[in-house]
Chains A and B, each alone.
Chain A
Amino acid sequence: MQQLTVNDAVSQALAEEMRRDAKVLMFGEGVATKRHDLLAEFGPERIRNTPLAEGIIAGTAVGAAAMGLRPVVDLLFAPFLCYAMDAIVNSAGKLRYLSGGQFAFPLVVMTQTGAGWGVGAQHNHNLEAWFVHSPGLKVVMPSNPADFKGLLKAAIRDDNPVLFFSDLSLGYQAGEVPDGDCLVPLGSAATRRVGGDVTLIGYGKTVAACLQASDRLAERGIAAEVIDLRSLKPLDEAAILASVRKTGRLVVAHEAGRLCGVGAEVAALAAEHAFAALKAPVIRLAGPDAPTPGNIVLEQAGAPSADAVAAAALKLFESIA
């Protein structure tokens, strides 16, 4: 197996998919400047810089996808999605349905999110739940290089619009990536650690927090099961419920705001379908209902830490004592 950083895994996925399918193209602000390897291999028709205009970047992707191309657009930072929202939500998400299924929109929107850069709320906003709430879209947020590669390849091959959120702090993280054409299907969670006492669920960067928390819990004799959602829509409800039914305890952690967030959905799922198995109330750890501060210390304070996850899990055991 190869060792790759997340950034390299993404580049490899893009190159492999562009090589495999001539319909795949990529455009965005500075895409051709930054991805010069792709530009060199695939030429300026398939790797394009665009004007600074996210609305038309996204709209162009939607129109091109309706015609059978498979565009990947890079919209840089999640807050800029606001400019692209109309094309993604109102066009890509709805026109398949409104047209009675005449069109498909096989496109991928890549964007970065998450604490770690300290540039403030207009460059950092965890917006994944907005898109989960929008019909017709799929949403993924990987946590490690292998999944970045496998999910991106699957997203490019998917016939639906997929939002691909990258936690920017993971970019230089390295890890093992299987050789060859390795896909991770959309809609499948991964069990990162098996345990029978408590379920810790995260995605993106909080998966690492959950894994570290599980180490701490193990020191106290508690076996935590760690689930990495990686695909937020479709959500792997079966994996979530199977684990909750097994452990009876659930902590779900993400950096995005708690109110109507993905954690709320996971908690509601457990309450609706695994209530009898629950031995304690579900705990959600999430970011505050506040814009992200442009201050590294405050910014990090908003992201659920391993300590916070471990403390939350321990609380679930106190409640029965």
Chain B
Amino acid sequence: MSNPARDKEYRMESNTDNTTLLAMLESMLRIRAYEEKAAALQAQGQAPGTCTAVGQEAVAVGVVQALAADDLILTNHRSAGHLLARGADTGRMLAEVMGKSTGYCKGKSGSLHISAKELGVVLTSTIVGAELSLATGVGLALAMERSAAIAVCFFGDGAACEGAFHESLNLAALWRLPILYVCENNQWQAFVHRREAMAAESVGDWAAAHPMPCASVDGNDAEAVYAAAAAAAAQVRSSRQPYFLEARTYRLRGHYEPDDQHYVDAKELAGWRGRDPIAALQARLLAQGVLSAESLERLHQRVAADIDNGLAFALASPYPAAEELATDVYA
């Protein structure tokens, strides 16, 4: 379906500087390693189940790379990539996942609702669609403060099927709120394929009904995501109006650990595995000579050491005292 309001399509661009690309690669590697560690901890019974976003790292890293330090992020249950790309500490993240008091939320969030005010990750909600409903309030506050910052709301194609999606976009357009909506269309809504749940081919078809710029991007191409997000963020920043960006990607692991993915079409999965965003960026940087085999090895080692140190910190951290059960309920 062609859509005049959504014909802006970002393709691979090679005008991102090498330092940025290398930083993005490292961030993607860290997110992948972190999520694989979280899944492994679950399998060993050392942590509860968790929602990973393996395969979607390019969206998190590409978008966050395009933000200014004071921009704010709202996210959902699949948030680890957004937080880590924003600079979250792996130790405090793992501590939170394991319920330790040194976690970002004192061990009260678990893996699903980690927010970190100090990193500008202002709200994380695991009620599908709630992130969209809260985003207008964050955007309203930025607008009323005459802030230069913008709010970015990450959500899935499943959330777009909730009424809150249209309510949020309508109000943001009406009240001219500085919100960058980033739909991570990973083709899955828990155990239901997007095609089974959406009559439209893309979420952009719906967003285009609202008066705001819309664009879509290959979410497995980190550089293209970065370019698209940078253009989008710049437009939100200058226009103080919302913008909708859809990143087409794929959830390579299951919905929630553990998940044997028996319901997934093997051919579809294999096709997307072949388009792994980390492998793609790595191959490109190696081919261009930006990255050598040795420096890639060093990157991997640095990331592995970071995860190991983080895990050691989390393991050594205490659980909250039982009295914490009823603290932080009221201000």
**Interchain CB contact (< 8 A) of A97 among B116, B171, B328:** B328
Distance (whole angstroms) from the CB of A53 to the closest CB of chain B:
4
Given contacts A59-B137, A100-B106, 9 further A-B contacts (CB under 8 A): A48-B175, A51-B171, A62-B137, A64-B137, A64-B141, A87-B133, A91-B125, A102-B116, A103-B123
Which 8 A-B pairs have CB atoms at the shortest separation, nearest pair first? A63-B137, A59-B133, A67-B141, A100-B106, A159-B331, A56-B167, A100-B105, A64-B137
| Contact code string B295-331 (vs A, CB < 8 Å = 1, else 0) | 0000000000000000000000000000000011111
Residues of B participating in the A interface, judged by any CB pair closer than 8 Å = 74, 103-109, 113, 115-117, 122-125, 127, 129-130, 132-142, 144, 163-164, 167-168, 170-171, 174-175, 327-331
Q: In angstroms, how far is the closest chain B Cβ from the Cβ of A314?
A: 40
Chain B nearest Cβ from A66, distance in angstroms: 6
Chain A nearest CB, measured from B68 CB (Å): 17
Known: A64-B141, A96-B331, A135-B329. A59 touches B109 (CB 8 A): no
Which B residues lie within 8 Å of A136 (CB)?
Answer: 329-330
Q: Give which listed residue, B133, B135, B175, contacts A86 with CB less than 8 A.
A: B133
The docked-state distance in angstroms from the alpha carbon of A96 to that of B331 is 8
Pair B108/A100 contact, Cβ less than 8 Å: yes
CB contacts (< 8 Å) of A138 on chain B: these are 330
B330 touches A99 (CB 8 A): no
Note all chain A residues with C-beta closer than 8 A to B171: 50-51, 53, 56, 60
Contacts of B124 in A (CB 8 A): 99
Using CB atoms, name the residue of chain B closest to A59.
Answer: B133
Q: How far is the CA of A158 from the CA of B136 in the complex (A)?
A: 22
Known: A50-B171, A69-B140. A98 touches B108 (CB 8 A): yes
Contacts of B170 in A (CB 8 A): 51, 53, 56
Distance (whole angstroms) from the CB of A295 to the closest CB of chain B: 32
CB of A115 to closest CB in B, whole Å:
31
Q: A63-B123, A100-B104, A101-B327 are in contact. Are A51 and B136 (CB under 8 A)?
A: no
| B164 partner residues in chain A, CB cutoff 8 A | 55-56, 59
B141-A106 in contact (CB<8A) = no
Closest partner residue, chain B, to A45 (CB atom): B144
**Is the beta-carbon distance between A86 and B329 smaller than 8 angstroms?**
no
Q: With an 8 A cutoff between CB atoms, is A90 at the interface?
A: yes
Q: How far is the CA of A100 from the CA of B71 in the complex (A)?
A: 22
10 contacts across the A-B interface (CB closer than 8 A): A45-B144, A55-B133, A55-B163, A62-B134, A63-B140, A64-B141, A96-B330, A102-B115, A136-B330, A160-B330
Residues of A within 8 A of B106 (CB): 100-101
Q: Is A240's CB within 8 Å of the partner chain B? A: no
* A189 CB–B CB distance under 8 Å: no
| Residue A200 at the chain B interface, CB threshold 8 Å | no
Contacts of B103 in A (CB 8 A): 100
Within 8 A of B (CB), among A58-87: 58-69, 71, 86-87
Whether A25 is near chain B, meaning CB under 8 Å from some CB there, is: yes
Contact B144 A60 (CB under 8 A): no
Total number of residue pairs linking A and B with CB closer than 8 Å: 146
Bound-complex Cα distance A56 to B134 (A): 8
Please determine whether A98 and B137 come into contact, CB atoms closer than 8 angstroms: no
Answer yes or no: A104 CB below 8 A from chain B CBs.
yes
Judge whether A95 is part of the interface by a CB distance below 8 angstroms: yes
Q: A100–B109 contact, CB under 8 A?
A: yes
A residues in contact with B133, CB < 8 Å: 55-56, 58-60, 62-63, 86-87, 91
Q: Are B130 and A86 in contact (CB under 8 A)?
A: yes
Distance between Cα atoms of A106 and B330 in the complex (Å): 10
Structural contact, A99 and B136, CB atoms closer than 8 A = no
- Given A25-B144, A59-B134, decide whether A90 and B105 contact each other with a Cβ distance below 8 A: no
Do A56 and B136 touch across chains, with their CB atoms under 8 A apart?
yes
In Å, the complex CA distance between A135 and B142 comes to: 28
A67 B122 Cβ-Cβ under 8 A: yes
Closest partner residue, chain B, to A58 (CB atom): B133
B137–A66 CB distance below 8 A: yes
Among A61, A90, A98, which residue has the most Cβ atoms of chain B within 10 A?
Answer: A98
A96 neighbours in B (Cβ, 8 Å): 328-331
CB within 8 Å of B: which A100-152 residues: 100-106, 135-136, 138
A67 engages B137 (CB within 8 Å) = yes
User: How many angstroms between the C-alpha atoms of A66 and B106 in the bound complex?
Assistant: 18
* B-side contacts of A63, CB under 8 Å: 74, 123, 133-141
B174-A66 in contact (CB<8A): no
Q: Quick check: A64 and B138 within 8 Å, CB to CB?
A: yes
> Quick one: which of A50, A53, A60, A68 has the most chain B CB within 10 A?
A60
CB atoms of A65 and B123 under 8 A apart: no
Specify which of B108, B115, B123, B168 lies most central, judged by the most chain A CB atoms within 10 Å of its CB: B123
Chain A residues positioned under 8 Å from B127 (CB to CB): 86, 90-91
B329 touching A60, Cβ below 8 Å: no
- Report the minimum CB–CB distance from A14 to chain B (whole Å): 18
